[in-house]
Structure 1
Amino acid sequence: MRKVFLSNIVLVSLVPTKYFSDDLNLNGKNYKFPLSYLINSEVKAKDEVVIITGVEKSVNGKNRAEEYYALYKNEIEEILKERDVNIKFIEIWQKNKFDSLTFNEFFKEIADNIHDDDILYADITFGMKPYTISLFVALSYITKAAVNVDLDTIIYAGRYNGTDEIKDINCSQIYDLTGLFYLNALSGRAVQGQREELDNLLKFIIE
């Protein structure tokens, strides 16, 4: 059973950020990337860990996304260096020129790299919106089509614009969107004529 962590790499300038969350226990850590908090809390000794990351491919030499991906890999390796885990990094290279099939191909590459019995953790904070949507749809597809694949947690980190006690550091709140993911799964199973029945179910689920 593999623990698989999926995300798209950040494209905007990476600035010092103070992450906080009402949904997750961040254990007082200070990481550059939101998914690192889940990697730190969920990976145990002897686990088989797979890191799947969408990275924008540079045209001439390195781009910022590749530099940030290198930082992300270093952060993960530092977190896991004493846990005796088997870790594999998989890059899914993203185009910076698009055609009608670009995001469908990304969807397929995500799905192809997920195996039966995987436990999935995902971060949909970064990347171009079509790639983020493609990742979300791929997760929805694979949890239905594969055998015993569990989407454990999906997160999003949003910018915080309120008062920050720590000067010169941006604040970002990490939200747990796992419930929203499974509402999408419920929507996918709906059939015509079930509206009243499912509306009542939603009232029960969402008080």
Structure 2
Amino acid sequence: MRKVFISTIKMKKEDQAPVFQSRDFDLGDKKFFAPISYLMDANLESGDDVLVLTGVTDTDVPRENYEQHLKPELQRILEAHHVTYQIQEVKEPDIDTEREIQDSLTFSEFFRAVADCLQDGDRIYADMTYGMKCYTLGMFIAMAYAAKAGVDVDVERMIYAQFYKGEKETPATSDIIDITSLFYINTMVSNAASGQKKSMDNFLKLMIG
């Protein structure tokens, strides 16, 4: 069994990093650069085999965010937990400097690149916070494909951090929200047959409230 931590890098440089908080997770007093770091720190055990997969746009700010902040932070967490790990990037074409190469296949190719990294037995932890929506959608579809077509592949946790900019003396905050249920709701509705909407509606009302 391998643990896979998937995310995309923050695109913007912020003057002040937000304060992360959560009603779904106990973050303790840790202060990390990105939500994926909290997810990783809480779910590693000594001896784990780990793949870290990050979508990175190769321009100045995202590259700086990755090389100077996220990657070193993840390495510190991995080494503190005494795991075996591999860190791998998935390229995201830049919307400005590489505009001429972007077409209908751009995001499908990103999906394929993520899916190609997933294998039987994986336990997946994903942070859907940053990056262009099409990249996080491609990441979601890659996880759904691996869970459906692979053997013993599970999405253990999926999170999103909702940003609040703050006002005056109130600092900016980001609420880390557990959205794993959306992945499994998608699995259920994808398996629905024609004519089942009414019964599925009733089931979803019972399940969600």
| Count, aligned residues | 201
Structure 1: state its 5+ residue gaps: none
Equivalent residue, structure 2, for 1:152 = 156
Tell me by how many angstroms 1:162 deviates: 5.6
Structure 1 segments (4+ residues) deviating >4 Å = 161-164
CA distance in 2, matches of 1:83, 1:138: 27
TM-score normalised by L of structure 2: 0.91
1:200 equivalent to 2:202? Answer yes
Q: Percent identity?
A: 39
Matches within 5 A, 1:133-172: 133-161=137-165, 167=169, 169-172=171-174
TM-score, structure 1 length as denominator?
Answer: 0.92
CA distance in 2, matches of 1:73, 1:176: 23
RMSD: 1.5
Structure 2 counterparts to residues 3-152 of structure 1, below 5 A: 3-14=3-14, 15-58=16-59, 63-70=60-67, 71-96=69-94, 97=99, 98-152=102-156
Aligned equivalents of 1:57 and 1:68: distance in 2? 11
1:16–1:169 CA contact under 8 A, matched in 2 = no
- 1:197 deviates by 1.4
Letter in 2 for 1:191: A
Residues 198 and 124 of structure 1: is their aligned pair in 2 closer, same or farther, counting only changes over 3 Å?
A: same
Deviations 1:167-196 (CA, angstroms, capped at 9, x unpaired): 474111010000111111111101111012
Which SS does the other structure have where 1:81 is aligned? helix
CA separation of 1:162/1:95 partners in 2, compared to 1, >3 Å: closer, same or farther? closer
Distance 1:67 1:100, change over 3 A: same
The offset of 1:74, in angstroms, is 0.5
Amino acid at match of 2:74: I
Unaligned runs of 5+ in 2: none
Matches of 1:178 and 1:103, distance apart in 2: 23
